[in-house]
Structure 1
Amino acid sequence: MWFKNLMSYRLTKPLEWDRNQLQTQLESCQFHPCGAQDQSKFGWGYPLRGSDLFYFSVGNHILLVAKRKKNPTGKRGEA
């Protein structure tokens, strides 16, 4: 697997929530494409195709996918 833009973080404190809580929180901020009135959008995507989870976990490692989309200035709809 190759990454276009990878940011790696090492947490210094243990997480105080479980995987179900992580899934719920990421689900509430799911990525949706820009609408006609949106300048930009940010949200979480699926790290694995065909998966229903917003994270991929192996051992103590967690992979998250953040997505951001910006509409070109001329492409936005008028109010």
Structure 2
Amino acid sequence: MLWFKNAIIYQLNNDSLFNKDTIEKAIKSHLFTPCGNLDTTKMGWVSPYNDNNQSDFIVDMQGHLLLRIKKETKILPAPVIKQTLLEKIDKQEQALSRKLTKNEKASLKDEVMIDLMPRA
């Protein structure tokens, strides 16, 4: 049995723009693809039945259309980022024999985020 975590119901007027074929064509142009190495979130349409079925994206029951969208989010915990950043800052400060500027620390934080994102 399918239970919803989050369901949003819309009531639309009968219009030629909201027919099943037009909606299915629009959905097929925005299908779900999993997050890549540097992506933090991805969202796209999937089959209401399961994720493996790529043929039916709309369930039509007595004029009611059921659609399903999927969202994938990568989470990087703040303590992990902070710990890795502090280690990098210490290494840089020892190598340069001086304190790093605010801009240098910000660019190091960006590097840490890029390094950690594929492992999230």
The TM-score by the shorter chain falls in which range? 0.7 to 0.9
Residue aligned with 2:45, SS: strand
The alignment of Structure 1 onto Structure 2 pairs a total of residues equal to 76
Q: Hey, which bits of structure 1, 4+ residues long, moved more than 3 A?
A: none
Q: Radius of gyration: which is bigger? A: 2
Identify, as 1 or 2, the structure richer in helix: 2
- Asked which structure has the greater RCO (Cα within 8 Å, sep 6+), the reply is 1
Amino acid at match of 1:59: Q
- CA-to-aligned-CA distance 1:18-58 (integer Å, 9 cap, x gap): 32222111011001111111010011110124461111011
Q: Give the secondary structure class of the aligned counterpart of 1:20.
A: helix
Q: Structure 2: how far apart are the matches of 1:14 and 1:73?
A: 44
RMSD: 1.8
Instruction: Give unmatched runs, 5+ long, in structure 1.
Output: none
Identity of aligned residues (%): 28
- Please report the TM-score for the alignment, with normalisation by the length of structure 2: 0.56
Q: What TM-score does the superposition give when structure 1 sets the normalisation length?
A: 0.80
Tell me the amino acid that sits aligned with residue 76 of structure 1. M
Deviation at 1:3, TM superposition (A): 1.3
Q: Which structure shows the higher strand fraction?
A: 1
